[in-house]
Amino acid sequence: MSDSKPIELAFSSKYDSDHAQQYLTKHRTGLARRLSTWRDMQLARRALKDAGEPNLVLDLPCGAGRFWPLLAEAPNRMILAADYSADMLNTARQGQASELVARVKTFQTSAFDIELGDNAVDSIFCMRLIHHVADHEHRIALLREFARVTRDTLIISLWVDGNYKAMKRRRLEARRAAKGQNGQNQNRFVVAREVIEAEFREAGFEQISRRDFLPGYAMWRVYVLRSTAQGARVSAVSPADSRLLSFSDSRFDRWWDMQGEWVEAPNLRRGGESGVKLLPALAAGRPRLYSKQQVGHTYRSLLHPFGRPTVLREEQALQVCEELGVPVPRRVFCAARRHAGQWQALLITEELQGYVSLQDWYAEPISMLQRHAVLQQLAQVLWRLHQGRRQHGCLYAKHIYVRVDGAQALVALLDLEKSRRRLLRGPAVSHDLDQLQRHRGAMPDVDWQYLVNCYNSLSAGSEDSTHAT
């Protein structure tokens, strides 16, 4: 952020409430507009994939939230959205679905002076802005501000030359100039491809990919860029493990070196060490983060006889749980690399706000109604997990987290690094329930029996897991 007054573009002030509402509706009406929007979404989806499916994205300018549903397709993605126009932001919040709006943190800012710190986001998603910027100096200022805020990539769209529409645009501008109307009502500009690509390099970006809206015909092009300050892109594990995202070395280093409080000091296990740090939130209003850091902490299997970091297995288990509808912490970042002959691995997840472990919860004064609500919910969570033939593998009371709001109970599962899929559901059920019975902490026998009854009723096909004590 700069202390000087940010650059202001003339067109920016036009987006009052009426213009914002028109902007919201114009992409939803008419066949041509709907087809154009479909192609926009297709290009944006491919761009996000090229950028490595970033976890923390800044949508700037977000306009009326047209791309929010697309950005929210990744269940673990955190979305920041900003615009210069307060009316645009209000229209976006009112015009998009409430459950979608709940996932997006909005704020008003200038793209030339973004109210975020350095390296604040994984990627900036900038659609339909820079084609409004005529001057080279202003484009460079904008791109350099983006390079300051993104720690990795920039997705940006603009008008370029070398196509039929750009040729028509040049003829139109020539006719206007001949009539003495040069510059009249002009707030959108075509930039030569070699010029904008040179500006990307000058601002500190390199190209990952580029795609045209309609090659040879339309002016719109989407670029995916990487900040050259972030280092070369490498594979998170190996080319064969395509499920994992790739990442930059410096991005891994920033997470690894981030200061936090050790809540589980590094301890020696599995021939290596593993510990957990509590990190500050990435932005105001966001949850704090837990960072599991490992060195040489591996497991072996038929597929990985030479060892593989356990956080990669845990990250896979978290993804499977999300697909099964089993509540788990939201993933933020996961990667592993070889360093000095050993595996280094990271798993960053969001804190479960308002939750406590089942072990600690039983130390509080709780009513029978609350106990039953929690146990019913726990039975349902375990049932969904086992229906997917998934075994938790370390089902202790300290790895089950609960939150009670009045009569409503929520349950989530943690510490899934030993989780695995079983060939049959039965062994997963037996292992987890036997383990929980031995490690249920302060849970009394009557509550344990109630939990088993709830679980068995689900197993028998009952729709109602409520029982009398």
Average pLDDT of span 273-290? 88
10-230 folds as Rossmann fold (3.40.50)
Cα distance from N-terminal residue to C-terminal residue, the chain: 61
- Stated pTM of the model: 0.54
- The reported pLDDT for the residue numbered 89 is 92
pLDDT exceeds 60 at position 469: no
Average pLDDT of span 304-315? 89
Please write the tens of the pLDDT for every residue from 46-92.
Answer: 999 988 888 899 999 998 899 999 999 988 788 999 999 899 999 99
356-459 folds as Transferase(Phosphotransferase); domain 1 (1.10.510)
C-alpha to C-alpha distance for 417 and 414, rounded to whole angstroms: 9
User: Where residue 459 falls among pLDDT bands split at 50, 70, 90?
Assistant: confident
- The reported pLDDT for the residue numbered 249 is 60
pLDDT exceeds 60 at position 245: no
Which of these ranges, 31-45, 249-263, 429-443, has the smallest mean pLDDT?
A: 249-263
- The reported pLDDT for the residue numbered 231 is 39
Bigger pLDDT: 377 vs 333: 377
Cis peptide, bond prior to residue 280, ω within 30 of zero: no
pLDDT exceeds 60 at position 431: yes
Bigger pLDDT: 242 vs 296: 296
β partners of residue 220: 159
| The pair of three-digit structure tokens given for residue 111, joined into one six-digit string | 């793209």
Are 10-230 and 233-350 equal in CATH topology? no
Bigger pLDDT: 253 vs 41: 41
User: Where residue 230 falls among pLDDT bands split at 50, 70, 90?
Assistant: very low
Bigger pLDDT: 245 vs 335: 335
| The pair of three-digit structure tokens given for residue 390, joined into one six-digit string | 């998934």
Domain limits, the chain: 10-230, 233-350, 356-459
pLDDT exceeds 70 at position 303: yes
Mean of pLDDT over the chain: 85
User: Where residue 243 falls among pLDDT bands split at 50, 70, 90?
Assistant: very low
Average pLDDT of span 176-200? 78
Bigger pLDDT: 1 vs 178: 178
Please write the tens of the pLDDT for every residue from 313-364.
Answer: 999 999 899 889 899 998 888 888 888 888 999 999 999 999 999 999 999 9
User: Where residue 461 falls among pLDDT bands split at 50, 70, 90?
Assistant: low
User: Where residue 410 falls among pLDDT bands split at 50, 70, 90?
Assistant: very high
C-alpha to C-alpha distance for 410 and 404, rounded to whole angstroms: 6
Query: What kind and span of H or E run contains 344?
Result: strand 342-350
pLDDT exceeds 70 at position 411: yes
Please write the tens of the pLDDT for every residue from 4-60.
Answer: 556 666 555 566 677 767 766 776 777 888 888 889 999 999 999 988 888 899 999
How far is residue 32 from each of residues 37, 38, 44, 216, measured CA to CA in Å? Answer: 9, 10, 18, 19
Which three-class secondary structure string do you get for 355-380? CEEHHHHCCCCCCHHHHHHHHHHHHH
Contacts of 409 (CB under 8 A, 6+ apart): 370, 373, 374, 376, 377, 402, 403
| The pair of three-digit structure tokens given for residue 57, joined into one six-digit string | 């994205």
Domain 233-350: CATH superfamily is Phosphorylase Kinase; domain 1 (3.30.200.20)
